[in-house]
Structure 1
Amino acid sequence: MKKNVLLSIVVLLALALAACAPAAAEGPAAAEGDTIKVANLSPLTGPVPTFGESTKNGFMMAVEEWNANGGILGKQIEPIVEDSQCTADPAVNAANKVIDQDGVHYIVGEVCSSASIPVSEVAQEKGVLMISPTSTNADVTLNLDGTTKDMVFRACFIDPFQGLVMAKFASDQGYTKAFVMSDQGNDYVRGLAEVFSEKFVEYGGEIVGSENYTGTDTDFSAILTKVADSGAEVLYLPDYYNVINLVAAQAKQLGITAVMMGADGWDSSDLDIAAADGGYYSNHYSPDDTRDVVVDWVSKYTEKYGATPDALATLAYDATNLLFAAIEKAGVDDAAAVATAMESLSYDAVSGTVTFDEQHNPIKSAVVLQVKDGAIQFVASVAP
């Protein structure tokens, strides 16, 4: 009987202590376990798998380096990589999976603007911090009313700046007539085409023709015939490398003399160098940059992967480092606190010293590269 009484007293005391204990924190801001989980959403399959592979490589290199140096806040970083396919629905599914099932508070990704925009809405709604390495469409970080999504950032410059850079470059080269091709179903392509067209006219040029195509088209001969007939000196095509390869090869076959120009979507190890020869595109960095941070990055990436890092790998590395530096600055594994810390962050990244404007876009320079003599060559650097 005494044993039963004593047992009852112990149970009552335990219940009382439990009732007085503070409730566990809820939601994505709460720190859990012995690791900090960070997800990377990359298109490892789909139309642009080289983008995904490069992005994953850059992300993993940053994770490995921070873990080798003790991690963040005394915890190791636990990477979770999901295939998001550069497409809206698979990307949203991947985002929901890493948040709801894996308990992730931070996302590095997606790569393509058409996927990052819907993912950003998920991240914003669920209080998860997202930083896209390469999505340049302005809407990634903006709400429909034009206000800034407080949980969403990017490591790359935006389309208006990229379109302005190439419009100014084309004008500076003495070109006065441009033809613009664009996929109106792709937010990235459409945004760049619109800005280039507007700025090229402002610089005194003329848009002598514009044509739309779809992301599944493979025969561009009808459009290219119009390009030839228009007398265009420049053919602006700001799409991804898989489309560039098709258009550039067909343009060569048809004897098109207009100089092709584009954007960072050209940057891939699978770009058809022979077909795109003579073309120019805007990009986020050049491996020929002599800054110590660039030289070190190119050296260690090449040693690990046997190839020179492209802009996708570089920006993924930068985005991941920016995130980790913000977590360290915040001093707590709390997504909202880290977002606040990131807003005032200044970081010497591979692609330049990064600070953020009020719309969470990085303030840094762009470069213009040329496909020439079987290689990609640095041409110019353009500051904002």
Structure 2
Amino acid sequence: MFILWGSPSGAEASDFKAISRQNVAQIIITSEKNNNYIGDNENPTIIYHNTIISSKNIEVPRVAILLPLSGKYKKLGQSMLNAAQLALFHFADKNFELLPLDTKGTINGARVAGATAIREDAELILGPVFNTAVKAIESMTSQSGITVLAFSSDYTVAGNNIFTMGFLPSEQVRRIVKFSIEKGIRRFALIAPNNNYGQAVYSALRSTVNLYGATLTSEVLYDINTKNFSPIIRGLANFDMRQRMLTQEKSQLLNQNNNVAKKALLALNGVQTIGELPFDALLIADGGERLRSIAALLPHYDLDPKKVKMLGTGQWDTGGLGSEPALLGGWFSSPSSQGRREFVIRYENIYGETPHRLATLAYDATALAAVFAQSNKDDRQIKLPSKTQFFRNMNITSPRGFLGLDGIFRFSKKGYVERGLAVFEIKMRGIKLISPAPQKFFSQDKE
């Protein structure tokens, strides 16, 4: 297993380590920082060259990274590019070229960037971010035989030498549901957006509960443009029926007119509903403002977190959810936070801002490319008339996998990523690790 962590002793440190546990050997990769801005040129989609060439007679591995560096998602793209440059500084040797290309956050921009990467003789493509952009370059990369490490979380775009690095919702669902079942939860409900993400969550939840003999009793997939979640939560909680049951119970107690009935009636003061819910856990597969809107309504419709365990995916992996009472004590699955925490501190010290959550993907992909380029460095001794294949021996589907900022990961032969995930609990002031991510993959066979 390759460990893809840069370990600087200071902001300008130049020696970093990549450790191969498979060979029980330590590889010291020396790097020098040299970011040359190209400025205006005939092809403005090329933003930077990051290359250090020690000799004109040495062939250099060229890696293209496709990001939305302009347009609606330019902040995301710049954050990921910054992370890639950090990885370049930490891992690349003196003969490595990173070629950032702007997809502009559009399908056509992705096509242009992909064509530019091929025309510029890139041997490996990192990115793009969005599934539509990955689909836009699939045909041309397949024809040219270039391996693509895409940042998409849509596993359906994998294949034809395209590997997805994004955080798959299906994996997160399997991890949190299996953990919940181990803790005694057997009946599940789901609320999720009706889009590709929500459909992936629904499919994974349904298959996982069937696998472990549990039950999916209720599911709601809502329109992503929904503003008012009250009718949705009201229906999911069977609120009207349970409220009618309360009214009927009170009426029966009033008719009895005895001390026992009076005490029982008194005990119902302040109670909204009676009757058990058909589920023990509610998986809320969303984040951001929609998650907060849903959470705020749960107590209003008598969905008590003391009786129903709230579950989430990696979209819960943001700060501040402890301010939502309904989510306190809730569980969610996400990659291990240790490596990412160290990366965030380093990134903030250099760039003065917090990196986007997806920035770690760009870091790990660039580090992986740099480490694999090292394994073929003997091919650089002579400049050949055509490009050399520095990544021809890239064992990207190694069952041992790799250790990156987000923990262990490996790629299936079908092209999608498998990650070791942890389980966290929402606390008033942050999150608590309650089930660590695995340190290695136990199955050596990955389809």
The 3-state SS of whatever aligns with 1:256 is: coil
Separation of aligned partners in 1, 2:208 and 2:357: 25
Q: Residues 181 and 195 (structure 1 numbering): CA distance in 2 closer, same or farther, change over 3 Å? A: same
Could you tell me how far apart the structure 1 residues matched to 2:285 and 2:132 are?
14
The answer to whether the aligner puts 1:36 opposite 2:53 as a matched pair is no
- 1:284 is matched by which residue type in structure 2? P
Is the radius of gyration larger for structure 1 or structure 2? 2
Aligned: 1:360 with 2:398? no
Query: Distance between the aligned counterparts of 1:223 and 1:363, measured in 2?
Result: 33
* Aligned equivalent of 1:130: 148
Offset of residue 314 of structure 1: 2.2
* Aligned residue in 2 for 1:199: 208
Q: Deviations over 1:215-271 (max 9, x none)?
A: 2222222221122225433221323435323322333554432433222233346x6
Q: Residue 178 in 1 paired to residue 188 in 2?
A: yes
Letter in 2 for 1:267: D
* TM-score with structure 2 setting the length: 0.61
State the Cα distance separating 1:168 from its structure 2 match: 0.6
Are residue 107 (structure 1) and residue 125 (structure 2) matched?
yes
Identify if the C-alpha distance between structure 1 residues 201 and 123 changes in structure 2 by more than 3 Å, giving closer, same or farther: same
Partner of 1:21: none
* Seq. identity, %: 19
2:279 to 232, 242, 249: 232
The answer to whether the aligner puts 1:370 opposite 2:425 as a matched pair is yes
Report what 1:281 is aligned to.
332
**Within 1, Cα distance between the matches of 2:147 and 2:388?**
6
Residue aligned with 1:100, SS:
helix
Report the count of equivalent residues.
327
Q: 1:216 to 1:157 in 2, by over 3 A?
A: closer
Distance 1:126 1:50, change over 3 A: same
Q: Which residue of 1 aligns with 2:251?
A: none
Q: Equivalents in 2 of 1:301, 1:209: separation in Å?
A: 42
| Cα offset, 1:59, TM superposition | 2.5
SS at match of 2:391: helix
Would you say 1:98 and 2:102 are equivalent positions? no
Asked whether the equivalents of residues 76 and 356 of structure 2 are also in contact (C-alpha less than 8 Å), the reply is no
Aligned ranges for residues 282-321 of structure 1 at < 5 Å? 282-287=333-338, 297-305=343-351, 312-321=358-367
**Structure 1: gaps of 5 or more residues:** 1-32, 85-89, 143-148, 288-292
> How many Å separate the matches in 1 of 2:133 and 2:287?
14
Structure 2, gaps ≥5 residues long: 1-58, 239-276, 380-385, 442-447
Letter in 2 for 1:241: G
The one-letter amino acid paired with 1:153 is F
Taking structure 1 as reference, are residues 170 and 45 closer, same or farther at Cα in structure 2, changes over 3 Å only? farther
Please state how far the C-alpha of 1:122 moved relative to its aligned partner: 5.5
Displacement after TM superposition at 1:360 (Å): 3.2
The separation in 2 between residues aligned to 1:335 and 1:42, in whole angstroms, is: 29
RMSD between superposed Cα atoms in Å: 3.7
Deviations 1:18-64 (A, max 9, x none): xxxxxxxxxxxxxxx98835223259876x88865654443332234
Q: Structure 1 residues 379 and 139 mapped into 2: Cα distance closer, same or farther (>3 Å)? A: same
**Inter-CA distance 129–379: structure 2 relative to 1 (3 Å threshold):** same
How far is the alpha carbon of 1:194 from its aligned partner? 1.0
Q: Which secondary structure state, in structure 1, belongs to the residue aligned with residue 333 of structure 2?
A: strand
Which structure is higher in helix share?
A: 1
Residue 334 (structure 1) shift? 6.0
- CA gap of 1:266–1:310, structure 2 versus 1, over 3 A, is farther
Code of the aligned partner of 2:236: V
Aligned partner of 2:298 in structure 1 is 251
The whole-number CA distance in structure 2 between the counterparts of 1:357 and 1:78 is 26
Does the CA-based 8 Å contact 2:172-2:313 persist in structure 1?
yes
**Mapping for residues 144-155 of structure 1, pairs under 5 Å:** 149-150=160-161, 152-155=162-165
Distance in 1, Cα, partners of 2:133 & 2:425: 28
Is contact 1:285-1:366 (8 Å) kept? yes
Amino acid at match of 2:101: I
Change (3 A) 1:168 1:116: farther
Alpha-carbon distance in structure 2 between the residues aligned to 1:273 and 1:53? 30
SS in 2 for 1:217: coil
Aligned to 1:350: 405
